Chains A and B, each alone.
Chain A
């Protein structure tokens, strides 16, 4: 450790002094900060501060995503690992370029974006597409707005929307059934299974219902990270329990889907699937726990979070049942992302009355 510290200190000094390399200081600084904690102390009151920081915050989300990630590799082969690496690399390059050009620090938020993005992709996706999507998502979803903390849309979802619009066939027909049995995906690169429809497509096209058991344990087709639902639920509960995400958004989201689907299913059972099926299919759980709760793009106020969750639920069920798309989670989250600042300002306006000058 001391050895590493010495090297880093030396490099930092060297880079700071050299006029040409000075630009790349953020990269080195990020590495330095990654390995070693800060040496600053508090100035004035409060004299002590919480031990939590953004790195740990983001690391906790990554930990919560691990069950889904490992399950993804198991189901769809080592190619998933390659997808994740490509996603980190492509997005990371954009992040670094921006840090260098803007002379700002590299933000830890990318740790999560780089992992969430591959998990919402179909397993058949080619690697070059992953690279484009990840770079696009980070660039247009985050950096053009000014980096993490200022972005309006969830960068991973921006990337996915871009890919699903640019290459629609991968998101309509190229789904695969997962491999199971033995070591399956851990020792193979890809699955050679033929393409298959997702449960949501089955329902929409032919009103077929997939059984609950295969939905929970991920035996049906879907995006890489969303199918192992028991892992998604565990990860989500972990995040709520450790207070990393607020419980309001996922709970209201899922509850609204359940209630709204129940009503819809009662009147039009062939258009609206039943509540349990709605919750257990597609990216709903994954979206509710990991994407809708993204603190930057969701409303800040508690009142806003309730409203956000309810609207997400209604939109998701509506898009799933009445639109040409089979899945509505992605669009409803992006739509609500766009109006999250509006929700906040409405809530703030209602709670804090104008002061008369």
Chain B
């Protein structure tokens, strides 16, 4: 099968500070704070009280009536406080646990290393109880109300290891040794839960040996196909991935689950296997520490709830740095280092804050510079690039260079929409597809005039939505969507 790709997009190449292969297990922290809203689902209320003794792996929040998945204690110890805090713009309950130092983890009941002997209902229960079902953008459907759709509605399971961001969790780390078998079995487990689904694994084409290994397994065990893609940003987005691989139009404003497709990351599939075959709840995450501001770029396995401060301590260089969650292009800046790691973390990125004024900046050869154009030496000498926060130029009027049009993955005209948004012509905004925008921020990235295009488009969208003009309502009848009512107003953590 050939390589599938899409029009537009941009490849981030050779950025310094990719996390190296190899993983360091992190010590069990002495104290954790666990947000009761992680991944997909509604925020939960705790079912433990202050002063209770809990074991690592014990469920501390669960709600069978709303769309959600349970959340576990991640270390053994005593609940010291339960309080509400602002967490990614929402008021969320936090359970703080003081650890007693034990490393044991309470396994889920009824797991079986020979998972094929379990009945489907039990597999679903294990997936739900482990919390795996809350991972990813629209959850994994089970009969336990963990997603907006029913398992039988799912026609496609897509697992992606695209590495299309600037910094990625390495596939080599996630799929070494045993993990590859776990991964393959994880897919079979998920297929068992969703009997009508076709499974496919989408991998970045640069992983030649991994692809051929996975293909071999796919052939001998069966059950899924392997598809190669180019690691162009934002290939990992559902809105880009599904049209590229399946050739279906995406109903912008809804989730992939509404189309009957679930998109999963490699880590989620491995964790699904561990839940069913090893009884392991989701209390640990493999997180890549990327970016030039880290002393060492490594992968660490961290308990959920570990405060960021504990993770970053002694790992950052002395110079001022900006710590960003998951993605340099779309991620949130992590300003409050007292906040914990949660289930959705896969990368923590630290890049230097650079406010230095360079002499004759526009004439520099650019050995470390990344650019859409090929005017910098880094393109020709294939040198490593350093990411920092300088804006590299003054804001100017749009000169219609057309870079934003060439990179836009959803084929809209960012600069035109920006212009319309300024004078706010709502009808025209709708016509030129303002709601197609998937907030990948690539237009802001490439703009030589440094116009905050994506921010302006985002503002225009929220203004339109506030005015009651929700585009998703208009085009919903065109698609055969499931569970839209449940999906409305319910989205992932961020």
Q: How far is the CB of B176 from chain A (nearest CB, A)?
A: 30
Picked from A1, A42, A51, A57, the residue with its CB within 8 Å of the CB of B359 is A1
B391 touches A355 (CB 8 A): no
Instruction: Answer yes or no: B360 CB below 8 A from chain A CBs.
Output: yes
Which stretch, B63-71, B260-268, B444-452, touches the partner chain A?
A: B444-452
- Let me know if A54 is at the binding interface, CB within 8 A: yes
Tell me the minimal C-beta distance from B170 to chain A in angstroms: 20
Task: Please measure, in the bound complex, the distance between the C-alpha atom of A300 and the C-alpha atom of B333, giving whole angstroms.
Answer: 34
A residues lining the B interface (CB < 8 Å): 1, 5, 33-42, 44-57, 59-60, 105, 107-109, 147-150, 241-244, 246, 295-296, 298, 300-302, 348, 352-357
B397→A38 contact, CB < 8 A: no
**0 or 1 for each of B322-347: is its CB under 8 Å from A? (1 = yes):** 10100111111100000000000000
- Report how far A353 CA is from B478 CA in the complex, Å: 15
What residue of chain B has the Cβ atom nearest to residue A356's Cβ? B474
Considering the complex, which residues of chain B in the window 351-402 have a beta carbon less than 8 Å from any beta carbon of chain A?
Answer: 351, 353-363, 366, 369-376, 387-394, 396-402
CB atoms of B400 and A53 under 8 A apart: no
Taking a contact as CB atoms under 8 Å apart, the answer to whether B355 and A51 are in contact is no
Is residue B433 within 8 Å, beta carbon to beta carbon, of the partner chain?
Answer: yes
Besides A53-B449, A242-B375, 20 more A-B contacts (Cβ < 8 Å) are: A36-B357, A41-B390, A42-B391, A45-B454, A46-B329, A46-B442, A47-B331, A48-B370, A50-B448, A52-B373, A53-B450, A56-B362, A56-B363, A56-B393, A241-B374, A246-B402, A295-B399, A300-B402, A302-B402, A302-B405
* Among A41, A42, A49, A59, contact of B363 (Cβ-Cβ < 8 Å): A59
On whether the beta carbons of B402 and A242 are closer than 8 Å, the reply is no
> Residue on B with the closest CB to A297?
B400
Given A51-B366, A51-B370, A53-B450, do A46 and B389 touch, yes or no (CB 8 Å)? no
Residues of A within 8 A of B358 (CB): 36-37
Q: Which 3 A-B pairs have the closest CB atoms?
A: A53-B393, A37-B361, A149-B397
Q: Which A residues lie within 8 Å of B369 (CB)?
A: 51
Q: How far is the CB of A293 from chain B (nearest CB, A)?
A: 10
Q: A46-B329, A54-B393, A54-B449 are in contact. Are A36 and B359 (CB under 8 A)?
A: yes
B437: min CB distance to chain A, Å: 14
Task: Report Cα–Cα, A218/B401, bound state, in Å.
Answer: 31
A59 to B393, CA, bound (A): 13
Given contacts A36-B361, A149-B396, contact A352 B432 (CB under 8 A): yes
Chain B positions within 8 Å of A357 at CB level: 427
CB–CB B445/A49 < 8 A: yes
Cα A57 to Cα B372 with chains together (Å): 12
Q: Which of A33, A47, A243, A354 contacts B328 (CB 8 A)?
A: A47
B-chain residues with CB within 8 Å of residue A148 when the two chains form the complex: 396-397, 399
A300 near B413 (CB under 8 angstroms)?
yes
- The listed residue (A41, A50, A109) touching B371 by CB distance below 8 A is A50
* Minimal Cβ-Cβ distance residue in A for B362: A55
C-alpha spacing A301/B408, complex, angstroms: 13
Closest Cβ neighbor of A107 among chain B residues? B396
In whole angstroms, what is the CA distance A19 to B403 when docked? 41
- Across-interface contacts of B375 in A (CB, < 8 A): 52, 56, 60, 242-244
Please indicate the chain A residues that have their CB under 8 angstroms from the CB of B444 in the complex: 46, 49
Distance, CA A14 to CA B387, complexed state (A): 35
Taking CB atoms, residues of chain A closer than 8 Å to B416 are 300, 348
| Of listed A36, A41, A53, A57, residue having the most chain B CB within 10 A | A53
**27 CB < 8 A contacts A-B:** A33-B394, A37-B361, A37-B393, A41-B391, A44-B333, A46-B330, A51-B371, A52-B375, A52-B448, A54-B396, A54-B399, A60-B375, A107-B397, A108-B396, A109-B399, A147-B397, A149-B396, A149-B449, A242-B375, A243-B372, A243-B375, A295-B400, A296-B399, A302-B402, A348-B416, A354-B431, A357-B427
Q: From residue B153, how far is it (CB to closest CB) to chain A in Å?
A: 29
Q: Please determine whether A353 and B431 come into contact, CB atoms closer than 8 angstroms.
A: yes
- From A35, A107, A243, A300, B360 is in contact (CB under 8 Å) with A35
State A39–B355 Cα separation when bound (angstroms). 4
Q: Is B271 an interface residue (CB 8 A)?
A: no
B207 within 8 A of A: no
Closest Cβ of chain A to B442, distance in Å, is 8
| B210 CB-CB contact with A under 8 Å | no
Q: Which residues of B contact A36 (CB under 8 A)?
A: 357-361
- State whether the Cβ of B415 lies closer than 8 Å to any Cβ in chain A: yes
Is the CB of B430 closer than 8 A to any CB of chain A?
Answer: yes
Interface core residue of B369, B370, B402, B450 (most chain A CB under 10 Å): B402
Q: Is the CB of B371 within 8 A of A48?
A: no
